[in-house]
Amino acid sequence: MTGLAGSLEAILFSSNRPLKIRELAQATDSDRTAVELALDELREALADHGLMLQRQDDQVVMTTRPEFAAPVRRALRPEVTGRLSAAAYETLAIVAFNQPVPRSRIEEIRGVNCDSVLANLELRNLVVEVGRGSGPGQPKLYGTTMRFLQVLGLESLDQLPSPVAQH
């Protein structure tokens, strides 16, 4: 592994939050292209390890692979959070497959008001406002977060399955 990939590994392992590519470039005194190449090298080096890189847009975080989550959870005993409702999972799926998506589109698909469900998902840091729509009132546009990737054990949104076509 190159020195830059090793430096990124140490930085990401030590960080308690996702880091932007720009932050990694500044910390290592490297340009964006070199950081991107080193991240690819690090991702490959971690392929058979208990850790993996997760990436969403311009953010990267090192996290435990899903298959090793249970023993880590038992060892660290994190605080227990409540389970998501069926409505929350449904709304989360709509956001994941349609992002960026306004609340009105989510409600159109679900057929019910989604204010409280979206508020709950925002509190759990699973969805976040990612911009504003160009329509009347410039509605909030929702997207998934890095926490969403962590909960699902995905490296990136590219790993989501293809949506099922409706007939």
Cβ atoms of 128 and 18 closer than 8 Å: no
In this structure, CATH architecture of domain 3-74: Orthogonal Bundle (1.10)
pLDDT for 78 beyond 70? no
Of 25, 86, 8, 21, which Cα lies nearest the Cα of 59?
A: 21
Q: Which two tokens stand for residue 97?
A: 């497959």
Domain boundaries, given as residue ranges, for the chain: 3-74, 86-159
Q: Is the pTM of this model over 0.75?
A: no
Q: What is the pLDDT of residues 32-63, one digit of tens each?
A: 999 999 999 999 999 999 999 999 989 999 99
Equal CATH topology for 3-74 and 86-159: yes
Under CATH, to which class is 86-159 assigned?
A: mainly alpha
Q: What is the pLDDT of residues 103-121, one digit of tens each?
A: 999 999 999 999 889 988 9
- Checking 105-108 for CB contacts under 8 A at 24+ apart, the result is 106/142
